Structure 1
Amino acid sequence: MPLKYALIHEWLTPKATGGSELVVQEILNHINADLYALIDFESSNPKSYLYQRQIGTTFLQNLPYARNGIQKYLPLLPLAIEQLDLRQYDVILSSSHAVAKGVITTPEQLHICYCHSPMRYAWDLTFDYLQQSQLGNGVAGWVTRYLLHRLRQWDVLTANRVDYFIANSEHTARRIWRCYRRKSTVIYPPVNVEAMPFLAQKEDFYLIVSRLVSYKQVSLIVRAFNQLQKPLVVIGTGPQMKYLRKMANSHIQILGWQPDDVVKKYMARAKAFVYAACEDFGIALVEAQACGTPVIAYGAGGALETVQDIRSYIDTGTGIFFKAQIEAALVEAVEKFEMYQNAFNPEYLRSHASQFSRQVFSDRYLNFLDKCSKKRPSLE
């Protein structure tokens, strides 16, 4: 008798289009699983691959303004995810960057969690969250800190509900160990390398594609290029849009949100792709390399696993790192890049990116799932 699969993700909305959603899509391409989420506004979206699909949700679906994001209901997320009744399934697959791994399972079920990141609100971005939500001061600040403390406790507790962890990078695997003291297997997320247009001849501008939020450090890039007086194109939207447009000099274009085909064209034509955030993996960095476009990136996190600094790999370099998230370090890296720019091999960049393709992901993920299932005789 075939096994019954359930796949759980945090939220499915038109604004959620990052790497975690690509993982969900790729899993569904290969596994016949029922899909669950805290909220779902994609099955009613005619442009979505989930259009008219049956998706199980929670009480958060009906709360005011849920469509625009449920981070505002952060204290309710653990309660909501625990209301999903998944007892009818043999295998639980969670795609988790917040609370999806916290679903309640039975001893007879197999639970495999693809962890994009331990919950950032509770761990790495605690103080950013307090500052940006304006809940860091006074009585509200103490209440919020207490709720985050309890959220961390719940997050660690629910790590014990997972049989096997998959991490999206070695960087994330170290964070999983630090937060949960659990080992994990690294399977890089799928990048649609084949869909990225390749151009060997580049134009005279730099590019950043990112959500315009503080931890992405786009303001650092804009300030550095103000100093450099070199052309920069910024694609993306977010709460820092007005702030960035106000600070940017005339040689910097801030285009806001753009459709995928426009983003791909800019990515293929750019002299280099610039990135200043510490990402768990960083799909955009791989997409740029698939276009034959070198990367100038902050040398931390997943970038260290996807980019090869040309100063260390003179024949196979795919970018240049800068060591600190400060303007002077980025300015120096851009100047170094221009010294080396003729040494980059666009064809090699494309080849290098292919190791992170959708096919590589699906092969490794399905093989891992098969091995884990065989270790659980009750599922045979």
Structure 2
Amino acid sequence: MRGGERCLEAMCELFPGADIYTLLHIPGSVSGTIERHRIITSPLQYFPLVKNKYPYYLPVMPLAIESFCLRGYDLVISSSHCVAKGARILGRTPHLCYCYTPMRYVWDMHAQYFQKQNLTSLVMRLLRRPLKKWDLASSRKVDAFIAISKTVQKRIKRCYTTDSRILYPPVDTERFLHREQRGDYYLVVGAMVPYKRVDIAVDAFNVLGYPLKIAGWGTEEARLKKIAKGNISFLGRLSDPEIASLYSRCKALIFPGEEDFGIVPLEAMASGKPVLAFAGGGAVETVVNYEKGSARPATGILFKEQNAGGLIRAVKSFERIERLFLPEEIKKHSLAFDKKVFKTGFGQIIEEFLSNA
């Protein structure tokens, strides 16, 4: 499951009797904890090819979410990175939004989402302004926002001109194996799409020559395979246990993209493994950067230049000081982001929110 689905799973554990409204649902694609809930889907569920070609339906997603008319509930929680917060709510039911980001493809990342010159990108260029207007209007339906990071908190303030609290997404640290001994390979985990910047890792390790394993798939996969040298392995789409095993045996995780939060670095740290990450977005909040003489145990190295040169320098630095990264301390740091911490914090926020509603 992806990060947002793991957040939903934790919410479902807090509210085992809650109904779930979603644009579409593929049975078996999420955990049993989620599947046991009553799941109501939008009309998009019945559109052709929507499960594989959902980006084509972005322009109609606001209409799809507004097809829901929620009534008779004591509380509505929207788990939103796109349109979920725009559902129609009748009466004075309090509405709390756990926000992964304001709608990316109209505010900040339009170019990254629609790089290809095709009909979809043309339609999105024409609809960008009205979609932005809709997104802003739908934010007014929310009584209170929770942001997943400081990065998103700032974006909510800029886009919606409203304040928010921060609650970091959960990591199920118990799922990950902690081995003191490190393997000989570096690891990348994530979708191979442009904004993840897996190309930086490939370019850097083409030069370095160290073993690199890449777990994931996406639109960039074919291109990256063509330019990668023999020391780089592409593992494709793997199960959660397979990825956990890779974490436990790797030398360090490579995280070259800029994420709003980024669950992957914390999964690696839950396995006791250090992280070499670009110094931007959520990684700045989750990775304790190595600083000579600091009393605080480091969990990784943050590199400031988001290019192959910056990563190469970070890897070379890591090779020199690898012994200073202590698996027990790295694992301990990850526990501050554990699912139990999330559930406790979320419960406290809801209690306070309802008392003031």
Q: 1:58 aligns with which of 34, 42, 63?
A: 42
SS in structure 2 at match of 1:273: strand
Which 5+ residue runs of structure 1 have no aligned equivalent?
Answer: 1-16
The Cα shift of 1:153 comes to 0.9
Residue pair 1:117, 1:172 contacting (<8 A) in 2 also? yes
Q: 2:106 aligns with which of 118, 122, 130?
A: 122
Instruction: Give the corresponding residue for 1:23.
Output: 7
Moved over 6 A (4+): none
Distance 1:106 1:335 in 2: 58
- TM-score relative to the length of structure 1: 0.90
Distance 2:41 2:242 in 1: 33
Q: What letter matches 2:242 in structure 1?
A: V
Instruction: Give the corresponding residue for 1:242.
Output: 222
Residue pair 1:292, 1:349 contacting (<8 A) in 2 also? yes
Q: Establish whether residue 331 from structure 1 lines up as the match of residue 312 from structure 2.
A: yes
Q: 1:212 aligns with which of 162, 183, 192?
A: 192
SS in structure 2 at match of 1:132: coil
Instruction: Give the corresponding residue for 2:19.
Output: 34
Distance 2:272 2:29 in 1: 33
SS in structure 1 at match of 2:106: coil
Q: Establish whether residue 173 from structure 1 lines up as the match of residue 122 from structure 2.
A: no
Residue pair 1:192, 1:358 contacting (<8 A) in 2 also? yes
Instruction: Give the corresponding residue for 1:300.
Output: 280
Which stretch of the first structure deviates more once superposed, 59-68 or 307-316?
307-316
Using the aligned pairs only, state the percent identity: 37
Q: What letter matches 2:220 in structure 1?
A: Q
Q: What letter matches 1:201 in structure 2?
A: Q
User: For residues 46-94 of structure 1, what are the alpha-carbon distances to aligned partners after superposition, in whole Å with 9 as ceiling and x for unaligned?
Assistant: 9744446431111111100112242211110011101101022121100
Distance 1:120 1:181 in 2: 16
Which stretch of the first structure deviates more once superposed, 124-133 or 168-177?
124-133
Residue pair 2:80, 2:99 contacting (<8 A) in 1 also? yes
The Cα shift of 1:350 comes to 0.4
Distance 1:256 1:45 in 2: 18
Q: 2:56 aligns with which of 45, 53, 72?
A: 72
The Cα shift of 1:148 comes to 1.2
Change over 3 Å in CA distance of 1:180–1:227 after alignment to 2:
same
Instruction: Give the corresponding residue for 1:358.
Output: 339
Q: What letter matches 1:171 in structure 2?
A: T
Instruction: Give the corresponding residue for 1:97.
Output: 81
Residue pair 1:77, 1:99 contacting (<8 A) in 2 also? yes
The Cα shift of 1:340 comes to 1.5
Distance 1:157 1:94 in 2: 15
State the number of aligned residues. 355
Change over 3 Å in CA distance of 1:165–1:52 after alignment to 2:
closer
Distance 2:125 2:356 in 1: 41
Q: 2:232 aligns with which of 252, 256, 265?
A: 252
Q: What letter matches 1:373 in structure 2?
A: L
Instruction: Give the corresponding residue for 2:298.
Output: 317
SS in structure 2 at match of 1:148: helix
Residue pair 1:90, 1:108 contacting (<8 A) in 2 also? no
Q: What letter matches 2:253 in structure 1?
A: F
Q: What letter matches 2:130 in structure 1?
A: R
Distance 2:193 2:164 in 1: 29
SS in structure 1 at match of 2:188: strand
Instruction: Give the corresponding residue for 1:82.
Output: 66
Q: What letter matches 2:81 in structure 1?
A: H
Correspondence 1:269-280 to 2 at 5 A? 269-280=249-260
Residue pair 2:192, 2:219 contacting (<8 A) in 1 also? yes
SS in structure 2 at match of 1:165: strand
RMSD between aligned alpha carbons?
A: 1.6
The Cα shift of 1:146 comes to 2.2
Q: 1:163 aligns with which of 143, 150, 163?
A: 143
Instruction: Give the corresponding residue for 2:116.
Output: 132
Which stretch of the first structure deviates more once superposed, 292-301 or 146-155?
146-155
Distance 1:152 1:371 in 2: 31
Instruction: Give the corresponding residue for 1:373.
Output: 354
User: For residues 6-61 of structure 1, what are the alpha-carbon distances to aligned partners after superposition, in whole Å with 9 as ceiling and x for unaligned?
Assistant: xxxxxxxxxxx21110111111111121111011113x669744446431111111
Distance 2:340 2:307 in 1: 37
Distance 1:119 1:50 in 2: 24
User: For residues 151-193 of structure 1, what are the alpha-carbon distances to aligned partners after superposition, in whole Å with 9 as ceiling and x for unaligned?
Assistant: 1111111111000100111111111111111111100111001
Instruction: Give the corresponding residue for 1:13.
Output: none
Q: 1:110 aligns with which of 94, 98, 111?
A: 94
SS in structure 2 at match of 1:203: coil
Residue pair 2:71, 2:91 contacting (<8 A) in 1 also? no
Residue pair 1:196, 1:264 contacting (<8 A) in 2 also? yes
Distance 2:119 2:208 in 1: 37
SS in structure 1 at match of 2:51: helix
The Cα shift of 1:106 comes to 3.8
Q: What letter matches 2:297 in structure 1?
A: T
SS in structure 2 at match of 1:122: helix
The Cα shift of 1:131 comes to 1.2
Q: What letter matches 1:103 in structure 2?
A: A
Change over 3 Å in CA distance of 1:330–1:45 after alignment to 2:
closer
Q: What letter matches 2:75 in structure 1?
A: V
